[in-house]
Amino acid sequence: MSGHSKWSTIKRAKEAKDNKRSSVFTKLGNNITVAARKGGDPEMNFELRMAIDRAKSANMPKDNIERATKRGTGELGGAVIEELTYEGFGPVKSAFIIETVTDNKNRSASEIRHIFSKNGGSMGASGSVSWNFNRKGVITIANENLPKDNWDELELELIDAGAEDIIKENEGATILTAITDLQKVKKMLDAKNIKTESAELEYLAKEKKELSEEEKNKVEKFIDALDECEDVANYYTNVIL
C-alpha cells in the first residue's frame, strides 16, 4: 500500500495471514489461478512465480498451490475467476485503488461499494483517483538479507538492471522499477541468492496526504474492512499511516 512505508504493509499482511488463514489462502489461490492462465510453468511465467512465492510465504499447502495452478491452466474445472479494479474515496477523502480477484463480479462490486459507503466514502468511476498514482515494480529486501560488506556495489548493479529508486529503511530496502524491469531486477537478485520479502506491481501515489490521529483511525477501520473482504487482493492509498 503506497503512501507510507512498504514495511508497514508487509507487517499488516502477515498479521492478517495469522488471524484469517483460510480467507488468505482463498485470495492467494485465486491470484495463482489468474496468473496461471498465461502458462502453468512458473519458470516461464513470472507472474505465476510471484503469486506462488506469495502463497509459499504464507505457508499455503503445496496441494492448494497445485490445484489453484491447474484451475488456471484448465486442467481442473471450477468457477471463472476475474480480476476487477475499483477506485474511489475512503474516509477523510483518502484516495484508494482496490484490486479484486473474484468468481462473482456482481458480489464483488456490491461489497466494495458497501465498504466505501459504510465508512463515509464513495466508489468512483474509472480514473477518479488513479490519475494520482503511478504503476511501478516494488521489491523489498529485509535488513537481515542485505549484503553487509558490498551494499554500494549492489546498488550500482541494481541501477544497471533497471532500478529507478532504492530506499533504505530500518527494516530493509525497497527497490522501485519500471513495470518492464521488475522481472529483470528480481532475477538479478535471485542469481545472487538475495532473498526478497515481496516483488510485485503496485500503484504508488504521486502526492501523499498526511492525517491526524483521528483521521488515521477512520482510514484504518476502512482498511480493516478491506482486509476482511475475501475478494480484495490488494489496495493502495495516498495517505501516510
- Residue with the bigger pLDDT between 232 and 7: it is 232
Residue 210 amino acid letter: E
Greater confidence, 97 or 12? Answer: 97
Task: Report pLDDT for 147.
Answer: 87
Same domain, 148 and 178: yes
Asked if 25 and 69 sit in the same domain, the reply is yes
- The structural domain count of the chain equals 3
139, 142, 145, 149 alpha-carbon torsion, rounded to 10°:
90
Distance of alpha carbon 99 from alpha carbon 97, whole angstroms: 7
DSSP strand pairing (82-89 vs 122-124): antiparallel
Both 54 and 154 in a single domain? no
Neighbouring CB atoms inside 10 A of 63's CB total 8
For residues 138 and 183, membership in a common domain is answered with yes
| Residue range 129-161, pLDDT digits in tens | 999 999 999 999 999 999 888 888 999 999 999
The per-residue pLDDT for 8 is 65
pLDDT at 44 over 90: yes
Across 68-95, average pLDDT: 91
Is there a domain that residue 140 lies in?
Answer: yes
Residues 152, 197, single domain; the answer is yes
CATH classification of the domain holding 30: 1.10.10.200
Number of H helices, E strands in the chain: 8, 10
153 and 182 inside one domain = yes
Q: Answer whether residue 219 is part of any domain.
A: yes
Measure the N-to-C terminal CA separation of the chain; round to a whole number of Å.
10
Residue 69: which pLDDT band, with cuts at 50, 70 and 90? very high
- Give yes or no: residues 146 and 189 share one domain: yes
- β-bridge mates for residue 44, sequence order: none
Same domain (yes/no): 90, 194: no
Give yes or no for residue 4 having a pLDDT over 60: no
Do the strands 239-240 and 209-210 form a parallel or antiparallel pair, or are they unpaired? Answer: parallel
Q: Which pLDDT score is estimated for 3?
A: 40
Alpha-carbon gap, residue 80 to 82, rounded angstroms: 6
- Please state, as a whole number, how many other Cβ atoms lie within 10 Å of the Cβ of residue 163: 22
Domain holding 16, by residue range, is 6-73
87: in domain: yes
Beta carbons of 202 and 135 less than 8 angstroms apart: yes
Residue 45 has pLDDT above 60, yes or no: yes
Does the residue 102 lie in any domain? yes
Answer with the one of 73, 94, 121 that is the final residue of a domain. 73
Q: Give the chain's radius of gyration (CA, Å).
A: 18
Average pLDDT of the residues in 65-83: 89
Same domain, 60 and 88: no
- The CATH number linked to 127 is 3.30.70.980
Q: What percent of the chain has pLDDT over 70?
A: 91
Alpha-carbon span 5 to 204, nearest angstrom: 11
Do 37 and 60 share a structural domain?
yes
Mean pLDDT of the 60-66 span: 94
Do 56 and 86 fall into the same domain?
Answer: no
User: Are residues 210 and 118 part of one domain?
Assistant: yes
Q: Does residue 1 form part of some domain?
A: no
Percent of the chain with pLDDT over 90: 71
**Helices 6-19 and 21-36 sit at what angle, rounded to 10 degrees?**
110
Contact residues for 160 (Cβ-Cβ < 8 A; gap 6+): none
Confidence band of 13 (pLDDT split at 50, 70, 90):
low
Q: Global pTM?
A: 0.86
CB atoms within 10 A of CB 237: 26
Q: pLDDT for 99-122, tens place per residue?
A: 999 999 999 999 999 999 999 999
Say if 56 falls within a structural domain: yes
